Amino acid sequence: MQTTLMHVILTSLFFLHTCVICGSASKWLAIFNMQALGISTIKSPDNCEELPGLVNKQIQICKRNLEVMDSVSLGANLAIMECQTQFQNRRWNCSTVDGSVFGQVLDNGTREAAFVNAISAAGVAHAVTRGCSSGELEKCGCDRTVGGNSADGFVWAGCSDNVAYGVQFSQTFVDAMERKTRATLERRLMNLHNNEAGRRTIEDNMRMECKCHGVSGSCEMKTCWKSMPTFGDIGQVLKEKFDGATEVQSLKIGSRQQLVPRNADFKPHTSSDLVYLVPSPDFCEEDLKGSLGTHGRRCNKTSKAIDGCELMCCGRGFNTHIEEVIERCSCKFHWCCYVKCRNCHRTVEVHTCK
């Protein structure tokens, strides 16, 4: 246990340092990494200052909320994992590059950057809220505003997720980055909007969970509480929003700069939609802008979608090789009590892009 912790600490420090080197343009990525790997080291307020990539305000938040930082780290992990799940079949697959979480791909205001902003803000909000509900955090607990009898004949009871606290924390912590960065105003507005869209996704998809009480589950009495969607659901909703994201530009309307759709014919975005500033590259070849290219990626021979070999390999064609998979099979239960299986060898065709 001790060694794993040490490992995590060392890796996180390594990551943090490389990310400082990796440039100020993707500075907010450092915070992402810090959340993912560094926060578990925070034991005292001094640790907060050792973490590079944080702006002053975030260091202050860190110092005041030491106990929450574990959840922040967890949230960032959730976000990265979910991003990789949602994008595993796309050319850009949310892979981590050279220490910085997503390389330089996110330096431009693309749809991919929009997604990452949204999912990381949502990840922090989700994890902090979860921390509140599970009682890990002292500063917050269940949502006390939900209670009483409902018109539908059930009682609001149990622990409703205190999503307001999680969202609030995510707002102060994640958005603090954008208020202090040297990026253009347009980009800052984009990031702030997408952060908010990510958090909104949680709020808009809250659901009700209920439990029945009574003789043999007869549901004479029902108690219900509000619960957050699973993070997988959030990832899926955000992926759909990624597909339908709106290309915007910032215009001065009145005295304020605002993001408006670049094409006036298109439907204006709502506060829960994702917005982006520049169209994405095709991510086919490796380049200096951080695209890794799709050489060697696995693809689906029969699919016509983006995971199919035709699109994934950008027309370069693919190689096919046979892989042997060992599976447990013909399992039998023996009295008492163990299960005996045989190892079966199965060959599968694997297609990889040229």
Partner 1 sequence: MECSNKERQNRLIGCCKSRMDLSYRCFVVCILCISIFLSGPTKTDASATWMWLGAASLGAASVGRDTIPDGSLGHQTATQAPPINSILVDPETLCQRFPGLTVEQRRVCSSTPEIINMISEGAKVGIIECQRQFSTERWNCSVIGDVNNPFGEVMNTGNKETAFIYAITSAGVVYAVTRSCSLGNLTECGCATPRGQPSDDVVDDDEEWKWGGCTDDVDYGIKLARKFVDSGDKYSSSSSLSSPSPPPSALSRPLTIKPGVQEMNLHNNEAGRQLIKSGMKTLCRCHGVSASCSLKTCWKAMPSFKEIGDLAKSRYSEGVEVVVRTKKQIRLRRKDRRVRREVIASDELVYMQRSPNYCRTNREIGIVGTTGRECNRTSTGSDSCDLLCCGRGYNTQVIRRVERCDCKFIWCCKVKCRVCETVTDIYTCK
Q: Is 91 in the site for partner 1 (CB under 8 A)?
A: yes
Options 242, 248, 272, 290; binder of partner 1; rule CB under 8 A: 242
Query: Angle between the 111-134 and 69-86 helix axes, to the nearest 10 degrees?
Result: 140
d(C-alpha 171, C-alpha 58), whole Å = 11
Residues 6+ apart with CB under 8 A from 231: 78, 82, 122, 123, 126
**Closer to partner 1 by Cβ: residue 305 or 341:** 305
d(C-alpha 307, C-alpha 88), whole Å = 9
Asked whether 121 and 314 are in contact (CB, 8 A), the reply is no
Residue 248 beta carbon to partner 1: minimum distance, rounded to whole angstroms: 12
Options 54, 61, 74, 90; binder of partner 1; rule CB under 8 A: 90
d(C-alpha 76, C-alpha 102), whole Å = 13
With CA atoms as reference, report the closest residue to 151 among 226, 229, 214, 222.
222
**Closer to partner 1 by Cβ: residue 112 or 196:** 112
Q: Is 115 in the site for partner 1 (CB under 8 A)?
A: no
**Closer to partner 1 by Cβ: residue 38 or 198:** 198
Q: How many residues bind partner 1 (CB under 8 A)?
A: 19
Strand 246-253 to strand 256-261: parallel, antiparallel, or no bridges (unpaired)?
A: antiparallel
**Closer to partner 1 by Cβ: residue 140 or 292:** 292
d(C-alpha 220, C-alpha 194), whole Å = 44
**Closer to partner 1 by Cβ: residue 91 or 130:** 91
d(C-alpha 234, C-alpha 119), whole Å = 8
Q: Is 169 in the site for partner 1 (CB under 8 A)?
A: no
Q: Is 349 in the site for partner 1 (CB under 8 A)?
A: no
Options 243, 286, 287, 327; binder of partner 1; rule CB under 8 A: 243
Instruction: List 207's β-bridge partners, or say none.
Output: 227
Q: Is 285 in the site for partner 1 (CB under 8 A)?
A: no
The region of 40-48, 55-63, 137-145, 236-244 touching partner 1 under the rule CB under 8 A is: 236-244
Options 135, 214, 244, 296; binder of partner 1; rule CB under 8 A: 244
Within 13 A of 334's CA, how many CA atoms are on the CB side? 6
Residue type, 72: V
**Closer to partner 1 by Cβ: residue 8 or 306:** 306
DSSP letter (8 states) at residue 228: P
**Closer to partner 1 by Cβ: residue 59 or 314:** 314
Residue 298 beta carbon to partner 1: minimum distance, rounded to whole angstroms: 16
Buried b (16+ CB within 10 A) or exposed e, 190-212: bbbbbbbbbbbbbeeeeeeeeee
Strand 298-299 to strand 338-353: parallel, antiparallel, or no bridges (unpaired)?
A: antiparallel
Contact set for partner 1, span 289-318 (CB under 8 A):
304-306, 310-311, 315
Cα 296 from chain centre? 26
Residue type, 344: C
Residue 190 beta carbon to partner 1: minimum distance, rounded to whole angstroms: 16
**Closer to partner 1 by Cβ: residue 220 or 265:** 265
**Closer to partner 1 by Cβ: residue 182 or 304:** 304
Contact set for partner 1, span 247-266 (CB under 8 A):
263, 265-266
How far apart are the two ends of the chain, measured CA to CA in Å?
Answer: 42
Q: Is 279 in the site for partner 1 (CB under 8 A)?
A: yes
Residue 268 beta carbon to partner 1: minimum distance, rounded to whole angstroms: 9
Q: Is 16 in the site for partner 1 (CB under 8 A)?
A: no
Cα 23 from chain centre? 22
Residues that bind partner 1 (CB under 8 A): 90-91, 111, 242-246, 263, 265-267, 279, 304-306, 310-311, 315
